[in-house]
Structure 1
Amino acid sequence: MAGSTNKTVHDIFQSMEYGPAATSSTATAQAWLEHHSRSLGLFIDGKFVRPADRQSRSLADSKGGHVCSTVCAVEDDVSQCASSAVNGHKAWVNLSCHQRAKVLLRLVSVLGQHGPCVSELCELCDAACSPSTLVRLLQYYSSWAQLRDTLITNWTPLGVVAVVVSDDCSLYSLMIKVLPALAMGNAVIVVPGLSTAPPALLLAQLFVAAGLPPGALNVLTGSDLSLGAKVAQNSSISYVTYSGNKQDGVMLCKATAGMGVSVSVSPYIGARCPFIIFESADIDSAVDAVIETAFKKKREVLWVLCVQESVQDSVVARLRLRMVGMKCVGLHSDGDRVLVDAAVQDAQQQGATLVQSCAAPPSGAQYPPTVLCGAAPSSPFVVSPSPGPLLPLMTFRSNTEAVTLGNHSPHGQAASIWTEDLTLALETAKSLSVGSVWVNSHSVSDPCLPVSGHKDSGTCTDGGQEGLYQFLRPSSSSPPLPRSSPVSLNYSKFGTAASPAIIPDDSDSASAPKPYLQFVGGKACKSVSGCSVAVQSPGGGSVLAYCPDGDRKDVRNAVEAAVKVQPGWMKKSPSARAQSLYSLAKGLEAKRRDLCGSISVQTGLSSDEVDEEVELSIARLNDWAAYCDKVQGGTPPLPQSGCALSLPEALGVVGVVLPDKNPLLAMVTLLGAAIGNGNAVIMVPSQKYPLPALAFIQVLQASDLPAGLVNVITGSRDQLTVALANHSVIKAIWYWGSAEGCQYLQHTCTSPLKVLRLSCQKKDGGKEWNQSHPSLLEEMWRNAVQWKSVWIPTA
């Protein structure tokens, strides 16, 4: 028969060859670039602007050809852009929800007309994002724009938001930030990376064509990420959010420390993710997915293959068969080739064997797809994978060992699990400390699912309703950080000042100030140093008591106790945690007189004010107990076959530095929000008013909370803040204190990343803790959880 081949169906399935790739044309994108003379300006106030005397930056395609150049913005451009964004925000936020939704939906039809141009430009710039993906994002967030005031009541937009991405970031990662910010009524200043700049500028032009008010979306391009810090420095900016690689994210956090602007980061580029194949998996499908995700797709994350020992030989044999004939993969530079050669040599010296598609060329910026079999979890090429098509392969025996291997990484971006056993898949997914888990699939995303960066992979949540709250604040609250200029701060000396010396007096033992103990690991104890600090009366004239002067060793002991008990507490049912909080409220009621006395003596408030604070504290604990089983995720509808789970999870160990105002009420408010969601806490009471927190230890001792779940350490606020910031296990810090303390935390809590909730205490006391507005409690509750999505395909 004409055109027939000698290959049988069996041969085809054994080789699983791909058909020839379709040829692509970029004529429309080239025409758009030529229209702008291949020199793209800034997009400010609804139009392209090309200021004179500006440096430019050139963008090349994958073959080294010139695509275009972009302008490098300077301070004057940032000021002009911020002023335009303020005006654009006023026009945009004054529209009704329906009007904002119409603008976003209108862009769908505009994309229908100009989709080829967007798609081709993304291909030219290597900033992958298909028009269909953009349409899905627009449809999803336009519906949230329509329903904002209906489903998210008592929340208000932040104002002007800066979205910053690194040079190696995709357009999708940019738009998953931009569109929800716009949908909630904010104006946005985009600071794109080099590859995302042309598509971002094109989309900004299309947004204005769809009816977006001028200034509501601006695009500033620059020479490097320092432009993001310059934008954040402008007093009009309310929030900065970043996506990209870890190095640039750390630099941005340090550069913006002390500016009084909140910064969240999603450093997913280069994250190490486990690809786990169990013996119950469809091995052929799993191997095919390994080839596609590790060697054929653009690698924004670095995969590590984990295979159950019983099927290792079968997996390796199929990998050898599937890799035959695969061509070398291009590297970014000759320097990457040096790193790849070094990693391969190191792997071979440690006993790893290579599975390669072909022989490696002697030199040049390319390398064949390579599997490094026999890798150990501690090997350098596993811990810090090099760029290029290298895939380490490790083995495991049991399900528990698979989870241990999967969590053996500072990153918590994603994982792919392959098994036909649904129970095993769900148990493994819940045990992995990652934001996304794909079951029998990989690299799938949809904006309906909230995803948080676990561990060192981010400090915010993107997607779903949960991802909208980073662009909102409760209507009844003011911004927690006042805009300011960074102070001159010696970070190595912060928190090292010695505590005031205690001088013996001549008072008799009957009238001597009472010594208090702190609470660590379920026991009342002295500080490790054995030192104490004096607690002054409200007027500062006399000593009321002595409390322990805690330090980093006390924090270390508290963290060790918290780590032991927190996983078991997190696994308790929400109703069991609620019962413990109800019991804690009853214990507080039983100790009402003692607590009233400590608040009165410490703060000098009237008896009515003291009674009100204690009563509100009891009510607040009951509120948190009632909340425990109310935020439990769900199964959002997907636009494709299959189902997905959205799961809230505890952060882990949370450090809390308490405010001076309402010392008891603030303590139980933050304590209830944290432990109600399954976290363990290390609390640092107000340095000025520590006695109410120390008196509350009696309530904790009489409660049924596990020993080590709640720890209370007194002493110097700055010294203990430094200890919390530098402990790698602590996931989040909630801080009420000085501007210097806020700046120190923003600068320091970058390696590993910590979720920061900072509030600069004002002279008038700041936050009104006696408010019980639903949005304020909801904000605290949401601050205590991170989100995980689990994808389960059905076809």
Structure 2
Amino acid sequence: MDGSTAKTVHDIFQSMEYGPAATSSTATAQAWLDNHSRSLGLFVDGKCIRPADRQSRSLADSKGGNLCSTVCAVEDDVSQCASSAVKGHKAWGDLSCHQRAKVLLRSASALGQHGTCVSELCELCEVSCSPSSLIRLLQYYSSWAQLRDALVPDWTPLGVVAVVTSDDCSLYSLMLKVLPALAMGNSVIVVPGRSRAPPTLLLAQLFTGAGLPAGALNVLTGSDMSLCARVAQNANIGYVAYSGNKQDGVLLCKSTAGMGIPVSVSPNIGARCPFIIFESADIDSAVDAVIEAAFKKKREVHWVLCVQESVVDSVVARLGLRMAGMKCVALHSDGDRGLVDAAVRDAQQQGATLIQSCAAPSSGAQYPPTVLCGAAPSSPFVVNPSPGPLLPLMTFRSNTEAVVLGNHSPHGQAASIWTEDLTLALETAKSLSVGSVWVNSHSVSDPCLPVSGHKDSGTCTDGGQEGLYQFLRPSSSSSPLPRSSPVSMDYSKFGTAASIPAIIPDDSNPASAPKVYLQFVGGKPCKSVSGCSVAVQSPGGASVLAYCPDGGRKDVRNAVEAAVKVQPSWMKKSPSARAQSLYSLSKGLEAKRRDIAGSINVQTGLSMDEADKEVELSIARLSDWAAYCDKVQGGSPALPQSGSALSLPGALGVVGVVLPDESPLLSMVTLLGAAIGNGNAVVMVPSEKYPLPALALIQVLQSSDLPAGLVNIITGSRDQLTVALATHSVIKAIWYWGSAEGCQYLQYTCTSPLKTLRLSCQKEDGGKDWTWSHPSLLEEMWRSAVQWKSVWIPTA
């Protein structure tokens, strides 16, 4: 055609210039908003409602225009929603497993039909979303709804579950909490972040239209995190699951402390994740992947590039080539620009060199992709990454250094490893303390794989069968924490006053003096650092039976140091080797049964027959845990995409255990066996009232083949030692049986760093019955001592 200006295919390939950007339509989402008059209400009892006299907040779209408004719920709305959720739970629970599965499958079909509307609405709200991934979630959890009674028969739903997210949480992360809760028969109240409210309301409308009973899924919107505390405070709520940034998660934990409601936290936004390139990697593929992960995808995590020294020059050269011509990346807000500029200046002052795709504009909420070469692990811009498109680059020499760099972070969400050596990849994956490891890939996920929060990245497990148990409880047990109102207390003064006065034992007449016991730290009996002791009274309080050490913060420090030294090697032992050690401990207890039964008799006032029965149950319980050691294993689940994946169970690390007064020996060996059977080390605080059975067990521990430092026993004031455990940064989990004030203190304090808590309020009427042997109760205890890791291995 003469005079035509259209370019031929040959011309386009010669110039390789950008074509016109594809315009995306949002007409379907706009029509849905118009249908609601761009004024979104609450979703309660299966319908959208907009109560009168409520404040509202405007929500801007991705271009800064007014998109819609959302209602700020008040106390009356929370009460109405909770009542609706209780009715919805009954209606949802009355359905058979097959009927619930059919509803979830119909919801997947409805989402497929209206996927365009969901995608467009998420685009307008700047929410990360893929309808296909949500459909996969629905299909996966519909199968679990079908099989619940067959595969988890001795467990029951919690009732009403509250799912809370921050304003930067993805829709996938939200649904990863909502759908397993629904599949197990719970009803759900969702409190989304402000910009997440429109797509969440749309999904609730779609699910209800697919047959979900009214009240089974409710959505409350508000102005800030105070709404979450009001929802948790409602007596009908049985569990709170949070997903989002850590700041809001910490605020939620502190605001709900003392309410008697369990809260799980998954801070999956803003984590620092290592991207490790070994010399055996396909460098071109690795560089392409790191650019996509760090600069092109929506940044929910901060990547740190770790490159082996032998290939760092090649990687830097390829980064420069790939980044040439890349456009500036939009920042979240104008205020982020100052943080990015400060981080770059700080990096240059510390000797880092920059690789930038173009010159940074003088101002504005945008910045070019930037690699900071020569970063040090302790640099502020590495430890506390800025919100912009900055990628620190560090080097390592050996595989061991790569693991050290990868673990040099308070977060443990994920890591990406690049190497063609499969043995190296698997060894590195097992050594990294993260929930997901991607080999020659990144940012892959599927709900069939369980992923636990490691370190500051969470206190629960999501995905797979393991992720279901946070929304279930054993049918034969009740909630360990009674619902209550928080106690007014000064957290800085908790545990500062000893409940039993410490004394220095009088050794002037050794023949008549009560026996002086030692505590057990680092595999050796020893005195407390303070040198003081506390008196152990007879059951009636008429006489002093013995003196035991009055341990404190320094004793906990010494015990944790000993535990940290031995725990990694203990965890690497095979499950069968750990089982044999537990069997050996059981035999040692059998050999000392009369002496230990005597200590129970003297200390607690039980008859010799009752004391002997407790010893017998303790011996059997240790054998139970030994048998469990090689029965709970990971696997390789089938994936919908090509490739393979491994699901690996692992230890928590060092666990602090504060023991109850009930059944002092049986409770101790129950918690001890579950912890060390999974590869953990323990620091145990015996019953303050009945410490002698635990101290008598020290002789058995000394003669066993358990490594020194694996089990540490410290006696003294329960509250003082609880404070020492809670404030120690190395302890990963605390299992606590004690006062309501102690439970509240731990919920408030154990947020930075995050600790996995298992809390039980000790009751005056006898408390927990430790003689149980129901399989689901043993399974619950065992699962609380495990965390899970997924390893992704792509194949052609």
Query: Which TM class, normalised by the smaller chain length?
Result: over 0.9
**CA–CA distance in structure 1, aligned partners of residues 661 and 754 of structure 2:** 27
User: In structure 1, the residue corresponding to 2:493 is in which secondary structure?
Assistant: coil
Please tell me whether residue 310 in structure 1 is matched to residue 314 in structure 2: no
Q: Is the alpha carbon distance of 1:505 and 1:404 closer, same or farther for their aligned partners in structure 2, counting shifts above 3 Å?
A: closer
**CA–CA distance in structure 1, aligned partners of residues 344 and 272 of structure 2:** 18
Equivalent position of 2:659 in the other structure: 658
Please tell me whether residue 137 in structure 1 is matched to residue 137 in structure 2: yes
Aligned partners of 2:594 and 2:612 also within 8 Å:
no
Written as runs of structure 1 = structure 2, the 5 A alignment for 1:603-752 is 603-752=604-753
Please tell me whether residue 245 in structure 1 is matched to residue 245 in structure 2: yes
- Aligned amino acid, residue 635 of structure 1: S
Q: Is the alpha carbon distance of 1:306 and 1:507 closer, same or farther for their aligned partners in structure 2, counting shifts above 3 Å?
A: closer
CA shift digits 1:727-780 (9 cap, x unpaired): 000000000000000000000000000000000011122211101100000001
Please tell me whether residue 324 in structure 1 is matched to residue 330 in structure 2: no
- Aligned amino acid, residue 436 of structure 2: S
Q: CA deviation at 1:325?
A: 1.2
Q: Is the alpha carbon distance of 1:690 and 1:116 closer, same or farther for their aligned partners in structure 2, counting shifts above 3 Å?
A: same
**CA–CA distance in structure 2, aligned partners of residues 271 and 139 of structure 1:** 29
Equivalent position of 1:437 in the other structure: 437
User: In structure 2, the residue corresponding to 1:196 is in which secondary structure?
Assistant: helix
Q: CA RMSD in A?
A: 1.5
User: In structure 2, the residue corresponding to 1:706 is in which secondary structure?
Assistant: coil
Aligned partners of 1:169 and 1:243 also within 8 Å:
yes
Please tell me whether residue 190 in structure 1 is matched to residue 196 in structure 2: no
Please tell me whether residue 463 in structure 1 is matched to residue 463 in structure 2: yes
User: In structure 2, the residue corresponding to 1:728 is in which secondary structure?
Assistant: coil
Aligned partners of 2:598 and 2:608 also within 8 Å:
no
CA shift digits 1:228-255 (9 cap, x unpaired): 1110000111100101111100000000
Equivalent position of 1:37 in the other structure: 37
**CA–CA distance in structure 1, aligned partners of residues 651 and 436 of structure 2:** 15
TM-score scaled by structure 1?
0.98
User: What is the count of residue pairs matched by the alignment?
Assistant: 789
Q: CA deviation at 1:167?
A: 0.4
Aligned partners of 1:534 and 1:545 also within 8 Å:
yes
- State the identity %: 87
Written as runs of structure 1 = structure 2, the 5 A alignment for 1:502-651 is 502=503, 509-651=510-652
- Please, which moves more after superposition, 102-111 or 672-681? 102-111
User: In structure 2, the residue corresponding to 1:195 is in which secondary structure?
Assistant: helix
Q: CA deviation at 1:18?
A: 8.6
Equivalent position of 1:4 in the other structure: 10
User: In structure 2, the residue corresponding to 1:655 is in which secondary structure?
Assistant: strand
Written as runs of structure 1 = structure 2, the 5 A alignment for 1:359-398 is 359-398=359-398
Q: CA deviation at 1:546?
A: 0.5
User: In structure 1, the residue corresponding to 2:31 is in which secondary structure?
Assistant: helix
Aligned partners of 2:273 and 2:303 also within 8 Å:
yes
- Aligned amino acid, residue 294 of structure 1: A
**CA–CA distance in structure 2, aligned partners of residues 192 and 242 of structure 1:** 10
**CA–CA distance in structure 2, aligned partners of residues 648 and 102 of structure 1:** 32
Q: CA deviation at 1:482?
A: 0.1
Written as runs of structure 1 = structure 2, the 5 A alignment for 1:52-71 is 52-71=52-71
Q: CA deviation at 1:311?
A: 1.0
Q: CA deviation at 1:314?
A: 1.0
Written as runs of structure 1 = structure 2, the 5 A alignment for 1:468-507 is 468-498=468-498, 499-502=500-503
CA shift digits 1:93-130 (9 cap, x unpaired): 11111111111011122112211111111111111222
Aligned partners of 2:504 and 2:531 also within 8 Å:
no
User: In structure 2, the residue corresponding to 1:442 is in which secondary structure?
Assistant: coil
Written as runs of structure 1 = structure 2, the 5 A alignment for 1:224-243 is 224-243=224-243
Equivalent position of 1:452 in the other structure: 452
- Please, which moves more after superposition, 741-750 or 500-509? 500-509
CA shift digits 1:336-387 (9 cap, x unpaired): 0000000000000011111001000001111011001111111100010101
- Aligned amino acid, residue 289 of structure 1: A
**CA–CA distance in structure 1, aligned partners of residues 582 and 507 of structure 2:** 44
- Aligned amino acid, residue 559 of structure 1: V
- Aligned amino acid, residue 83 of structure 1: S
Equivalent position of 1:220 in the other structure: 220
Q: Is the alpha carbon distance of 1:188 and 1:346 closer, same or farther for their aligned partners in structure 2, counting shifts above 3 Å?
A: same
- Please, which moves more after superposition, 570-579 or 106-115? 106-115
Aligned partners of 2:417 and 2:438 also within 8 Å:
yes
> Where in structure 1 do 4 or more consecutive aligned residues deviate above 6 Å?
17-20, 503-507
**CA–CA distance in structure 2, aligned partners of residues 507 and 442 of structure 1:** 70
Aligned partners of 2:416 and 2:440 also within 8 Å:
yes
Q: Is the alpha carbon distance of 1:473 and 1:6 closer, same or farther for their aligned partners in structure 2, counting shifts above 3 Å?
A: closer
Q: CA deviation at 1:55?
A: 1.2
CA shift digits 1:133-153 (9 cap, x unpaired): 111000000000000010011
Aligned partners of 2:505 and 2:547 also within 8 Å:
no
- Please, which moves more after superposition, 362-371 or 760-769? 760-769
**CA–CA distance in structure 2, aligned partners of residues 18 and 444 of structure 1:** 29
User: In structure 2, the residue corresponding to 1:535 is in which secondary structure?
Assistant: strand
Q: CA deviation at 1:505?
A: 8.5
Q: CA deviation at 1:502?
A: 3.9
Q: CA deviation at 1:53?
A: 1.4
Can you give the 5+ residue segments of structure 1 that lack an aligned partner in the other structure? Answer: none
Equivalent position of 1:46 in the other structure: 46
Aligned partners of 1:340 and 1:387 also within 8 Å:
yes
- Aligned amino acid, residue 135 of structure 1: I
- Aligned amino acid, residue 446 of structure 1: D
Equivalent position of 1:94 in the other structure: 94
Q: CA deviation at 1:657?
A: 0.2
- Please, which moves more after superposition, 319-328 or 175-184? 319-328
Please tell me whether residue 402 in structure 1 is matched to residue 424 in structure 2: no
**CA–CA distance in structure 1, aligned partners of residues 60 and 18 of structure 2:** 29
User: In structure 2, the residue corresponding to 1:190 is in which secondary structure?
Assistant: strand
Aligned partners of 2:162 and 2:239 also within 8 Å:
yes
- Aligned amino acid, residue 637 of structure 1: A
Q: Is the alpha carbon distance of 1:384 and 1:779 closer, same or farther for their aligned partners in structure 2, counting shifts above 3 Å?
A: same
CA shift digits 1:498-557 (9 cap, x unpaired): 341549889964332111110000000110000000011111111111000000000000
**CA–CA distance in structure 1, aligned partners of residues 636 and 506 of structure 2:** 66
CA shift digits 1:536-589 (9 cap, x unpaired): 111111111100000000000000000000000000001110000000000000
Aligned partners of 2:242 and 2:249 also within 8 Å:
yes
**CA–CA distance in structure 2, aligned partners of residues 130 and 384 of structure 1:** 29
User: In structure 2, the residue corresponding to 1:371 is in which secondary structure?
Assistant: strand
Aligned partners of 1:648 and 1:787 also within 8 Å:
yes
Aligned partners of 2:502 and 2:550 also within 8 Å:
no
Aligned partners of 2:507 and 2:513 also within 8 Å:
no
Equivalent position of 1:85 in the other structure: 85
**CA–CA distance in structure 1, aligned partners of residues 19 and 780 of structure 2:** 51
**CA–CA distance in structure 2, aligned partners of residues 19 and 672 of structure 1:** 65
User: In structure 2, the residue corresponding to 1:92 is in which secondary structure?
Assistant: helix
**CA–CA distance in structure 2, aligned partners of residues 480 and 662 of structure 1:** 17
- Please, which moves more after superposition, 113-122 or 629-638? 113-122
Equivalent position of 2:344 in the other structure: 344
User: In structure 2, the residue corresponding to 1:139 is in which secondary structure?
Assistant: helix
User: In structure 2, the residue corresponding to 1:787 is in which secondary structure?
Assistant: strand
**CA–CA distance in structure 1, aligned partners of residues 535 and 578 of structure 2:** 36
Aligned partners of 1:169 and 1:195 also within 8 Å:
no
Equivalent position of 2:173 in the other structure: 173
Aligned partners of 2:368 and 2:389 also within 8 Å:
yes
**CA–CA distance in structure 2, aligned partners of residues 220 and 105 of structure 1:** 25
Equivalent position of 2:3 in the other structure: none
User: In structure 2, the residue corresponding to 1:302 is in which secondary structure?
Assistant: strand
Equivalent position of 2:333 in the other structure: 333
User: In structure 2, the residue corresponding to 1:403 is in which secondary structure?
Assistant: helix
**CA–CA distance in structure 2, aligned partners of residues 213 and 326 of structure 1:** 50
**CA–CA distance in structure 2, aligned partners of residues 99 and 150 of structure 1:** 15
Q: CA deviation at 1:194?
A: 1.4
**CA–CA distance in structure 2, aligned partners of residues 44 and 753 of structure 1:** 33
User: In structure 2, the residue corresponding to 1:582 is in which secondary structure?
Assistant: helix
- Please, which moves more after superposition, 668-677 or 88-97? 88-97
